[in-house]
């Protein structure tokens, strides 16, 4: 666990800076003080399915990511940072609630699922509202909307506005699921009431062609699950009728989402804000804008990485033009590990070359092995973080309590119960992070304790072979698995049989965390700066 400082301000100045915030807390009004006059804005770039090795500064080959690399060069690059889960919905659930997805049985949701974060549940966004922040989410949601069986033609609620966001502009589920429309706040954008939307995950509705009936109409071939309604020449999961005028065009995503994010940031430049900039990229279907075509050597998957990098750069430029970049904390990360073939034949496997999306780790999206949740993660805050590399074990689960600590919000009983105040690790002030971390994956849990990785035996009747058919090693085994990551980063050598005592104690720790939470997790947040204007 070593923190290598690269350059810039001596880290010793940081306590001084935070003490300065704390003084303002005592004075009670950070808006009237001299610089720094307010807590930092928070921007989370939440990329979809981006693997540890998919970014230039993490060793990517065949694709360049200059904007993300700039964040890495000027900020804190983590080598052991984790999404809460190896799939999207539970990861996003955990990021926003500070609670493991398995506590609410969060799993990949269909596009007509009801909201799984119910109104009244405290979230990262509502906690920051308590601290005086304006809040927005732009991009992929995939946490469900409404109460199930959503009527897309009226007001869609509950949704982000009911759990702490002041503004939302959403891709409601995933790019490969209907409805293929944008939802702005509670309404489908551009919907003609004379052409209502109907969505079904049970059988065909309406007259739009499907991939299985009319494969000749497809721009990209798909597997059976992705062969329902065709929209924009691409078949999706689920059926959809109506809503012609409101249909999205996948190639426009980077511009549409950037435009909304930039406009919202401009509007809120004068107050602390939190923007969750949640990307469709680099999830399937991968249809980057034509201006990014051929910009990598890896076809659509690599070009989608170039596009994601452009989106990052566009918002950074805006923060700079507005003169607010210095006091903006940017967290760049991914919701789960990488996948090549996730249902569409876009040649991600064939064109991979020497590139290793999973970096030095084993597995990928869905998997219990490290690449399932160990994702590229960078914290950048010119006024508060020095350039460095950190090997601390950190989790997206902890962004909630760590931000609460930074802005001085005391968490209530029952709020963000799995989220630990790891602010020092997130800001590079401490080289050590979590002692324990549960990683969720399809069908099982793993536990990290220091460099030990324990994978709980799989107990369901059928091993999910479909994951391995995608070319991903799922890490499923009916026997315990124990890996010593200090000697075996690639999880090749299962030492469970040699360490039965350790296996027993890690298994009982998993059980304890599942049943009653992390040991010592209820440390009260220590205010670092004032929260109330
Ligand atoms: C899976 C889909 C996959 C992807 C994933 C969600 C099939 C066979 N596969 O069920 O294509 O959409 O769900 O990805 O349907 S995630 O990143 O949002 O978790
Ligand atoms: Ca994902």
Indicate which ligand has the atom closest to the C-alpha of 46. Answer: 2
The CA 525 to ligand 2 mean position distance, Å, reads 30
- Read off the pTM: 0.92
pLDDT, average across residues 88-99: 98
Name the closest-CA residue to atom 2, ligand 1: 342
Specify the pLDDT at position 37. 58
Chain region(s) in the chain for CATH 3.30.1120.10 = 437-516
pLDDT tens for each residue of 1-15:
333 333 333 343 444
Ligand nearest to the CA of 48: 2
Q: DSSP code of 513?
A: H
Of all atoms in ligand 1, which is nearest to the CA of residue 142? Answer: 18
Residue nearest to atom 17 of ligand 1 (CA): 88
Q: How far is the CA of 343 from the centre of ligand 2 (A)?
A: 13
Query: Is a pLDDT exceeding 50 seen at residue 347?
Result: yes
Query: In angstroms, what is the span from residue 283 Cα to ligand 2's centroid?
Result: 7
- Is residue 188 within 8 Å of residue 152, measured between CB atoms? yes
* Residue 105 confidence (pLDDT): 85
Is pLDDT of 531 > 70? no
* Ligand 1 midpoint to CA 42 (Å): 28
Nearest ligand, CA 467: 1
HEC assignment per residue over 315-369: HHHHHHHCCCCCCEEEEEEECCCCCCCCCECCCCCCCCCCCCCCCCCCCCCCCCC
CA–CA distances in Å: residue 330 to residues 43, 404, 507, 516: 5, 16, 36, 32
Supply 464's token pair: 């999910």
Would you say how long the chain is, in residues? 533
Q: From CA 164, how far away is CA 181, in angstroms rounded?
A: 23
Nearest residue to 129 via CA among 82, 162, 106, 172: 162
**pLDDT single digits (tens) 447-470:** 999 899 999 999 988 888 888 888
Res. 434: pLDDT tops 60: yes
- C-alpha span between 248 and 485 (Å, rounded): 44
For the stretch 39-77, pLDDT in tens is 999 999 999 999 999 999 999 999 999 999 999 999 999
d(CA 183, CA 334): 22
Distance 87 CA to ligand 2 centre (A): 5
Could you tell me where the DSSP H helices lie in 60-145?
Answer: 66-74, 88-97, 124-130
For ligand 1, mutation pick of 334, 343, 471 (most atoms within 8 Å of CB) = 343
> Is 55 in contact with 361 (CB distance < 8 Å)?
no
**Which residue's C-alpha comes closest to atom 1 of ligand 1?**
108
Domain range 437-516, CATH architecture: 2-Layer Sandwich (3.30)
Percent of residues, the chain, with pLDDT higher than 70: 90
Residue nearest to atom 16 of ligand 1 (CA): 88
What pLDDT digit, counting tens, does each position of 256-271 carry? 999 999 999 999 999 9
- Angle CA(225)–CA(228)–CA(229) in degrees, nearest 5? 150
Instruction: State in Å: Cα 108 to ligand 1 middle.
Output: 7
Index of the ligand 1 atom closest to the CA of residue 284? 11
- C-alpha to C-alpha distance for 400 and 296, rounded to whole angstroms: 35
Rounded Cα gap, residues 476 and 483, in angstroms: 14
What is the pLDDT at residue 463?
Answer: 84
User: Which residue in this structure is represented by tokens 């709020």?
Assistant: 415
CA 251 to ligand 2 centroid distance, Å: 19
Ligand 1 pocket at CB < 6 A: 48-49, 87-88, 108, 142, 174, 176, 225, 237, 283-284, 336, 342-343
């Amino acid at each position: 666990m070593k923190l290598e400082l690269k350059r810039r301000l001596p880290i010793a100045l940081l306590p001084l800076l935070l003490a300065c915030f704390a003084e303002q807390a005592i004075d009670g009004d950070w808006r009237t003080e001299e610089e720094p006059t307010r807590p930092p804005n928070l921007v989370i770039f939440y990329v979809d399915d981006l693997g540890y090795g998919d970014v230039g500064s993490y060793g990517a080959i065949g694709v360049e990511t200059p904007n993300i690399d700039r964040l890495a060069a000027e900020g804190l690059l983590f080598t052991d940072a984790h999404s809460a889960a190896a799939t999207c919905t539970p990861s996003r659930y955990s990021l926003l609630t500070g609670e493991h997805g398995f506590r609410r049985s969060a799993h990949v949701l269909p596009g007509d699922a009801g909201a799984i974060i119910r109104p009244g549940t405290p979230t990262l966004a509502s906690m920051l509202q308590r601290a005086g922040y304006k809040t927005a989410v732009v991009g992929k949601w995939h946490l469900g909307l409404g109460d199930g069986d959503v009527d897309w033609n009226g007001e869609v609620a509950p949704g982000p506005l009911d759990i702490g966001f002041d503004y939302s502009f959403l891709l409601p589920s995933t790019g490969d699921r209907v409805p293929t429309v944008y939802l702005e706040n509670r309404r489908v954008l551009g919907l003609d009431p004379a052409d209502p939307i109907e969505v079904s995950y049970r059988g065909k509705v309406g007259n739009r062609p499907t991939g299985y009936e009319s494969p000749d109409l497809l721009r990209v071939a798909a597997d059976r699950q992705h062969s329902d309604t065709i929209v924009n020449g691409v078949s999706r999961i689920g059926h959809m009728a109506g809503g012609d005028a409101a249909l999205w065009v996948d190639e426009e995503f980077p511009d549409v989402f950037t435009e909304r994010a930039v406009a919202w940031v401009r509007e809120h430049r004068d107050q602390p804000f939190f923007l969750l900039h949640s990307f469709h990229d680099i999830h399937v279907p991968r249809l980057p804008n034509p201006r990014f075509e051929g910009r990598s050597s890896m076809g659509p998957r690599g070009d989608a990485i170039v596009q994601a990098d452009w989106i990052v750069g566009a918002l950074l430029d805006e923060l700079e033009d507005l003169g607010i970049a210095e006091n903006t904390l940017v967290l760049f990360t991914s919701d789960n590990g990488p996948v090549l073939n996730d249902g569409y034949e876009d040649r991600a496997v064939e064109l991979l070359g020497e590139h290793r999306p999973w970096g030095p780790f084993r597995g990928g999206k869905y998997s219990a092995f490290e690449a399932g949740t160990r994702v590229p993660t960078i914290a950048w805050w010119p006024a508060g973080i020095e350039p460095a590399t950190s090997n601390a074990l950190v989790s997206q689960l902890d962004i909630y309590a760590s931000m609460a600590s930074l802005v001085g919000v005391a968490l209530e009983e029952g709020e963000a119960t799995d989220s630990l105040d790891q602010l020092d690790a997130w800001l590079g002030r401490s080289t050590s992070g979590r002692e324990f971390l549960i990683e969720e994956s399809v069908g099982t849990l793993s536990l990290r304790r220091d460099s030990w990785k324990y994978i709980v035996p799989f107990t369901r009747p059928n091993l999910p072979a479909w994951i391995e058919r995608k070319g991903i090693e799922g890490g499923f085994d009916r026997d315990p698995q124990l890996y010593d990551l200090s000697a075996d980063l690639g999880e090749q050598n299962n030492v469970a049989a040699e360490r039965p005592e350790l296996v027993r104690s890690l298994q009982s720790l998993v059980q304890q965390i599942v049943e009653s939470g992390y040991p010592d997790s209820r440390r009260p947040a220590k205010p670092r700066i004032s929260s109330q204007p």
